Structure 1
Amino acid sequence: MPLSDHEQRMLDQIESALYAEDPKFASSVRGGNLRAPSARRRLQGAVLFLVGLGLLVAGVPFYANVNHAFLIVSVIGFVIMFGGVVFAITGPRVAGAREGNAPEQGSARQKRAKGNNSFSSRMEERFRRRFEE
């Protein structure tokens, strides 16, 4: 269901306010900066999943019969399985997506470029701006 014109304007205002308040956070949560995974990436993820599954299953009999230290093999297998699934379903990040999608924030960027870039100074500046408004 599409948004009405009023709802779309409100959403645009909220988005621009978010960019004005914290552009780094806004660009990090903005969607659309991941590409779809390629067939090769999915195949590599499936191979990683199968290798992890093999380690997981192989670690169980060694753990039960030979040595309890082989439990680590099963845990490593599970981690590899999980990594393979994540690798298969995510695509690589697009390099220039953040800069192209963000609205112009010239004044905030100029202030940041002029002053000290430390975390504490940015927090102090943000605190001052809130009480000035």
Structure 2
Amino acid sequence: MPLSEHEQRMLDQLEQALAAEDPKFASSMEGSRRGGPTRTRWVIAVVGVVAGLGLVLLGINTTMWVGAAGFAVMVAAVAYALAPPRKGRGGLAAVRADGTTGPSRGHGGGGRQKSGSGFMDKLDDRWDRRSQDGWR
């Protein structure tokens, strides 16, 4: 079921706020949108599993170590196929208050600076109000 326009706008705003607050987490979550391994990864995995199986069968006739190496090749091929692909720098672009996009500006010191415009700042303010009203 597709999202309505309002829901899509809200989702876009949440993504932008997330990218502004924590760009590293946002870029790691962006990779999880993909459905799974790409065709190239599947082909490499199949070739690796077949080669590993061949080494296992060869290891039956020769030594145990060849078979163990074949098993390791098979496991590595499957792990490669199922691992998320590495992405270069980039991902979701942070949208600043002035409307420009780009990487998020880091917070200079060790303390947190509240600008009042970030998504997490708004959530923190709501939490503080709840705590003051006796919601614990």
What is the TM-score when the length of structure 2 is the normalising length?
A: 0.52
User: Is contact 1:52–1:77 with CA below 8 Å preserved after alignment?
Assistant: yes
- 1:7 corresponds to which residue? 7
Question: How many residues get paired?
Answer: 111
- The equivalent of 1:104 in structure 2 is 95
Counterparts of 1:91 and 1:23, CA distance in 2: 18
Q: 1:30: how far off?
A: 0.4
Partner of 2:132 in structure 1? none
RMSD of Structure 2 on Structure 1 (CA):
4.1
Q: Report the CA distance between 1:13 and its aligned residue.
A: 2.2
- C-alpha displacement of 1:107: 8.7
Equivalent residues of 1:27, 1:102 under 8 A apart: no
Query: Which blocks of at least 5 consecutive residues in structure 1 are unaligned?
Result: 64-69, 116-120
- The residue type equivalent to 1:29 in the other structure is M
Q: Distance in 2 between matches of 1:107 and 1:101?
A: 9
| Superimposed CA distance per residue, residues 75-106 of structure 1 (whole angstroms, 9 cap, x where no aligned partner) | 432221132245457796454xx426423356
The alpha-carbon distance between structure 1 residues 47 and 62, as it changes in their structure 2 partners (threshold 3 A), is same
Structure 1 match to 2:22: 22
Letter in 2 for 1:13: Q
Q: Check conservation: 2:23, 2:92, Cα contact below 8 A.
A: no
Does the residue aligned with 1:30 lie in a helix, a strand or coil?
helix
The percentage of aligned residue pairs carrying the same residue is 42
Contact 1:36 1:90 in 2 (8 A): no
User: Does the 8 A contact of 1:35 with 1:94 survive in 2?
Assistant: no
What CA distance in whole angstroms lies between the structure 2 residues aligned with 1:61 and 1:22? 54
Structure with higher helix content:
1
Secondary structure of the corresponding residue to residue 78 of structure 1 = helix
Q: For residue 75 of structure 2, what is the aligned residue in structure 1?
A: 82
Which runs of 5 or more residues in structure 2 are unaligned? Answer: 97-101, 115-119, 126-136
Amino acid at match of 1:102: A
What is aligned with 2:53? 53
